[in-house]
Amino acid sequence: MPHTTSPEETFAQIDRLTREARHSIDAILELRNLYPVAAIWFHSLDKGSLHYPRYEQILIEARTRLDYAGNVPMTRKLKTWLLSDIPHLLRKYRWQFLLSFVLFWGSAIFSFLGGLLYPELNPAFLGAEAYHHYLDQIRQGIKFQNFFIPTADMPLVSVLVFLNNFQVAILTAASGLLFGIGTFYILLKNGFMVGSLSALYFQSAHFIDFESQILQHGVIELTAIALAGGIGFMIGSVFYFPGRYGRLSLLRWRAADAGRLFLLVFLMLVMAGLIEGLITPLHLPMYLRGMVILGSLLIIATGGYLSFRRPRTD
């Protein structure tokens, strides 16, 4: 959202964006973000003010332009959302997403090292029941069992995996409403589980097999969960840094941004669910697993490059 120093500058900017929106999708997106700010100022304005008629006309023209923008072809909207809107939002909230990624992967590394150096901590990191289940498998020399799935059940597994991950992502993002504390807890818990499970298998003969299986879908899946955590911190930070507009107004604008970002999380989880249900159970040769992992990393790296290749003042 553009920052302005006065209502006059805001309405002048809306007037400019309304004209530019005839030819620019980016102007439409910027106008969509700025319009609620101006609307709040307008409704608090005295109707006897000399500026009232002009501001009212500017808002009417802007609303008309935004309504007309609904006729933009869907393919063009999707292209703009992916290549312009998402990169802009990732830059805009970069500190919240950085916090999420550091917390998730930091807790995973911490529990991995802790589980290796102090094995008695693993039940606390992983949960006692899960710990004993996997420990019994390792002691019996059994490979990781989660991906031995009958071929006929693989499509159903994809759906179930997606629904489970989607539930976790929604909970992670929505827990930002609990002052960000809920998001913090979920990221920490999941990071501990990932790291502790890796520590258990690191001490077995099946570590490479385990990690290559997990990472085929895990690169995209875990990145999506970390993005959901960033969305949660976007929302939670409103309670600590309300800014000039107040918590309620800022929360409403953040919710709109969160919705556009969560669509990305949704698509990533669909992709991860398809890989986990249809590809991971095939137990591909190691070199093919490596190609799937590298392909996933390339997708994530490309998204990061597109988001941060051009610094932008928000």
Which pLDDT tens digit goes with each residue over 138-150?
887 766 666 677 7
The domain limits of the chain are: 7-72, 92-308
Helix axes 25-43, 52-68, angle to 10 degrees: 140
More confident residue, 310 or 186: 186
Highest mean pLDDT among 45-54, 104-113, 121-130: 104-113
* Whole-prediction pTM: 0.77
What the block records as the tokens of 158 is: 């994809």
Q: What is the pLDDT of residue 233?
A: 97
Question: pLDDT per residue over 276-290, tens digit each?
Answer: 999 988 889 999 999
Distance CA 80, CA 27 (A): 11
Q: What is the pLDDT of residue 197?
A: 92
- What does the mean pLDDT of the chain come to? 86
More confident residue, 159 or 45: 159
- What's the angle, vertex CA 303, arms to CA 300 and CA 308, rounded to 5? 125
Question: pLDDT per residue over 230-264, tens digit each?
Answer: 999 999 999 998 877 678 878 888 888 899 899 99
Distance CA 128, CA 114 (A): 16
Query: Measuring CA to CA, how many Å separate 216 from each of 160, 278, 304?
Result: 17, 11, 19
Q: What is the pLDDT of residue 313?
A: 42
Q: What is the pLDDT of residue 250?
A: 82
Least confident of 5-19, 102-116, 231-245: 5-19
Secondary structure class of 140 (helix, strand, coil): coil
Give mean pLDDT, residues 200-214.
87
> Amino acid identity, residue 92?
K
Distance CA 10, CA 3 (A): 8
